[in-house]
Amino acid sequence: MSVADYARECAAQGLRGDYSVCRADFTVAQGYDYSADEQAVWRTLCDRQTKLTRKLAHHSYLDGVAALGLLDQIPDFGAVSKKLRKLTGWEIVAVPGLIPAAPFFDHLAHRRFPVTNWLRTRQELDYIVEPDMFHDFFGHVPALTQPVFADFMQIYGEKAEDVIALGGDEMITRLYWYTAEYGLMQEAGQPLKAFGAGLMSSFTELQFAVESRDAHHVAFDLETVMRTGYEIDKFQRAYFVLPSFDALRDVFQTADMAGIVGRNKGKPALDPATV
């Protein structure tokens, strides 16, 4: 699909980003012209969420926030990219919102993380349907300061298209969902913590996922993760728990993806409540 066709499709769907100014790789200029109210919304979101992340987030995420400095004002993508490049070789590219899978994977494969250039309104503090700058930046970017997780994300971008070509498009999406978006971590002898962006940017689900006795915690297994369905409009019915980022990177790097897809293609997704 061309950029122009995608822009028309997004406009028809009512997505709020300005897709008409996308470059060929679906990036746009950040356009740092945010209003005083938008800056206030950013600080409100960060102040409220930081009270939780200090207690419930994995130390790798907190270290990333400290290294990048994201809390005082809406981040300048270029300035943050300079810091991120020195740490892990990654950079931030601005996008108008959701972009097609192929350019998204290509950006990841080249250590570029797409971040939406607009912010939710004050009326959307608790929930927003589309991913906005707060989700993308506050949620995803801090973990990219961690070398092993940064490596995993690049490998994911490199392998995703091949997995899709095998017929595993839903499977590779589930892996991203249950790690980069909703992943938990419990290192040996340490309490359970969260690192996934969907949790980092959610005031209510972060508390549920880590602290609630009703949250269903499952030890991470790559093939099980890739077989397990998920929902986008409610709390997850399963949260997969990693022992380390090294375990995630290493198992994905060495996995027989063709075998996993071949064994499971065409089968119904596993119910997350029963894994």
Residues carrying an active site annotation: 135, 140, 181, 201
Residue pair 29/14 in contact (Cβ under 8 Å)? The answer is no
Nearest Cα neighbor of 153 from 176, 130, 119 is 176
Where b means 16+ CB within 10 Å and e means fewer, 71-92 reads beebbebeebbeebeeebebbb
DSSP letter at 200?
Answer: H
Three-state secondary structure call for residue 193:
strand
Strand spans (E) along 24-90: none
CA distance 45 to 128: 13
Pairing relationship of beta strands 91-95 and 112-116 according to DSSP bridges: parallel
CA distance 123 to 55: 26
Amino acid 101 reads: A
User: How far is C-alpha 233 from the geometric centre of its chain's CA atoms?
Assistant: 16
